[in-house]
Structure 1
Amino acid sequence: MKQPLEDLTVLDLSRVYAAPAGSMILADLGADVVRVESPDGTDSMRDWGPFINGESAYYFSANRNKRSITINLKSDKGRSIFLRLVEKADVVIENFKTGTLNKLGLSFNHLKEVNERIILCSVTGYGQTGPFSKEPGFDPVIQALSGLMDVTGQPGDEATKVGIPIADILTSKYVAISIMAALRMRDANGVGQHIDLSLLDVQISSMANISSGYLNAGMLSKRMGNQHNNVVPYQVFQCADQPLMLCVGNDRLFKHLCNLVNHPEWAEDEKYRTNDSRLKNKAELVAKIATIMRTKDADRWLALFSEYGIPAGKVNTIHQAIEHPQVVARNTVERLEHPLAGEVKMTRSPLRHSGLNITSKYAPPLLGEHTEEILAAQLGMSQKELNELKQDGVI
């Protein structure tokens, strides 16, 4: 089946997670994504465990469906080879510190000289402009600066980062979105452009109701643990056997909950009838519900909540999540054959289209696995030339 981006070539200079995970979305959609690294290796994520036969499972998470070449961009020959590849490419992705590409002679202006249609996507912690533009940006620091940590964690405890690199993950989605938007614009005007993506911009924009509440009502949200700032009851409750997340998102659902727990009178009580009144009497109401929740196992509660259409779910480990019948039914896990690690399991792209079947072509590539293949096919290099470039440390 034809893939929507299969006519695109992406040169991916990026490392770690945000940008590589973004290029993986493009690769999943059919783009020929070529990772470009130093012959000595550029991506520190390859060094992060756990390992399978010496290969990083962390690295696997952002790099399927790509090919890999090695080029020493600090050498004149290496830059020349890269620019020859740019001539035939559609997109370049990078996440060096601001100004690094310019020092290498590979800035957007340099790239435009060889390909006016090229799209350059630069991903940094703070963006290409502003007083922090040259500072290194790491996900936990961005979580701290953006205000995310301040609203994450238990009341009275220290601010807490999210358990996954959420700023990187969110930014990866904008990598794909921004590039596809730039491609759409290029279809109309034939001109490439430079995309300036910042982890801090992305995380600030992702503060959603927290930022809107502050900007429009002056509300400073507090750490609420597993509770919600604005909705009650909407939190984790301990059942007889394990915890369960319960989301009673409106007054109609609250009335159903009241009937379910044999307290229909709560739905008419002025202290609980509306969400605003429940917020004012939150501690009292939550304590009553918590006592009742401990009387049944999570499975029993889930069956009851399902009957009434009340959203709820167990607090799962990753093992339990992967084994959940809905996850299994959706074929969320795929298996790819890796030259060293053997069978590699990965979570599939979540994109599901009626007229598109997203299938994986490649396991995450070894460092430089496709160097000779790509340079021979795209630039017509002979084996003798490739051997000489290897000897000189260019590839």
Structure 2
Amino acid sequence: MMAESKGALDGLVVLDLSRILAGPTATQLLGDFGARVIKVENPKTGGDDTRSWGPNYALNPDGTRSDLSAYFMAANRNKQSIAVDLSTPEGQDTIRKLAARADVVIENYKPGGLKKYGLDHETMLAAHPGLVYCSISGYGQTGPNRSQPGYDLMAQGFGGIMSLTGDPDGAPMKVGVGIADVMCGMYACIGILAALRHRDATGEGQHIDLALVDAQMAWLINEGTNFLTSGKEPVRRGNAHPNIVPYEAFETADGWFLLAVGNDGQFARFCDAFGLQSLAEDDAYRTNLARIENREVLIPQIAATLAKLPKAEVLRRCQDALVPAGPINTVKEALTSDQAVARETVREVPAAVKGGHVKLLANPLKLSRTPVRYDLAPPRFGQDSDAVLKMLGEDD
């Protein structure tokens, strides 16, 4: 019988001083890979802000509302929760002792906010030169905006993505989830793993300075480089693509679907499948560059043809012609689809709540040797304080 595999980060200890979404996303990933994550929560506020971000909560066994909001559970599995008041000398001493045992410290206080407690990166790294210390803030540790608070919405607005999102004639629109926070958490996890690699090779820890706004501007990707290359300001295109045509949502006789024609061969096959061969043979549309230049004339012609056909027929023809196309699922349709079931996109994790478990979105990584672990459900506030303090040899 094969022994149960350990996580890739088994043995690492992460001291998590972060809250809300960016930092917790990073530490949840590290916990998924086997690290021991100790989440420090403020007893004065009842813990992480997102514990109170309803309206959806896991229920206690007696049917009352627990402190496990759906929002909190999205980014806090595989962690232990300890209640520590950083404003007290005793709390600061506890954090220092935990840091001495930790490989990684991650925090998202305002720049300089932990210095008054002696828990800032300079102080910590001086005491523990091998420590990897990651600071996440809205605008970074430097720059004229360094002292301003950072929320996902502010990052999306400042970083440019809202100017690209939404209907061309409508208002700028944020992405429907906290994508700036989540991507910042991804960058944080990558930076921490890189710093750990360096630490293991040299013994040197380091400070990681990461900003929500910096991360958001980094994933402007092609639209960012479109501007840098051309000097032209990108514009909102709704569901359309700035560099590929046709690549957007179209309405059929009984609903919407997505068409993603990625190259000229696919366009020719699409036209053949829908009796539009004349478009494929027209020099105005034969190449993607030509289609971009003439999209305002091309798209209405395609839309008029597709609007007469049922969605199932459109999808079947596209599939037969090897042209990328697909449905626009609701969240329920996506998470209950045969594909999601086959890929175990939703995981049930044992928890001391009504029903005995909570449902969580799975980590998408499928590692063959060190699979992702789902050992710990998102913790109740302070539930592991005794266990963590015993690790330090403290009785109370």
TM-score normalised to structure 1 length: 0.94
Aligned partners of 1:86 and 1:114 also within 8 Å: no
CA deviation digits over 1:66-100, x for unaligned, max 9?
11111111111111111111111100110011111
Residue in 2 that maps onto 1:232: 245
Letter aligned with residue 366 of structure 1: R
Residue in 1 that maps onto 2:188: 175
Aligned partners of 1:83 and 1:114 also within 8 Å: no
Letter aligned with residue 226 of structure 1: N
CA 1:160–1:106: 2 relative to 1, 3 Å: same
Deviation at 1:109, TM superposition (A): 2.3
Residue in 2 that maps onto 1:367: 381
Higher mean C-alpha displacement, 292-301 vs 258-267? 292-301
Higher mean C-alpha displacement, 270-279 vs 185-194? 270-279
Deviation at 1:148, TM superposition (A): 0.7
Alignment of 1:349-368 (within 5 A): 349-368=363-382
Deviation at 1:139, TM superposition (A): 0.8
Of 12, 16, 19, which aligns to 1:12? 16
Q: Percent identity?
A: 40
Residue in 2 that maps onto 1:287: 300
Higher mean C-alpha displacement, 303-312 vs 238-247? 303-312
TM-score normalised to structure 2 length: 0.94
Aligned-partner Cα distance in 2 for 1:264–1:66: 58
Unaligned runs of 5+ in 2: 60-64
Letter aligned with residue 25 of structure 1: L
Deviation at 1:108, TM superposition (A): 1.4
**Is 1:2 paired with 2:6?**
yes
Unaligned runs of 5+ in 1: 387-395
Alignment of 1:153-168 (within 5 A): 153-168=166-181
Letter aligned with residue 12 of structure 1: D
RMSD, aligned CA:
1.2
Q: Count how many residue pairs are aligned between Structure 1 and Structure 2.
A: 382
Residue in 1 that maps onto 2:48: 43
Aligned-partner Cα distance in 1 for 2:258–2:82: 46
Aligned partners of 2:130 and 2:199 also within 8 Å: yes
Alignment of 1:196-345 (within 5 A): 196-341=209-354, 342-345=356-359
Aligned partners of 1:243 and 1:298 also within 8 Å: yes
Aligned partners of 1:120 and 1:195 also within 8 Å: yes
Aligned-partner Cα distance in 2 for 1:298–1:352: 33
Residue in 2 that maps onto 1:140: 153
Deviation at 1:355, TM superposition (A): 2.0
Letter aligned with residue 199 of structure 1: L
Aligned-partner Cα distance in 2 for 1:105–1:168: 27
Deviation at 1:313, TM superposition (A): 1.4
Aligned-partner Cα distance in 2 for 1:276–1:179: 41
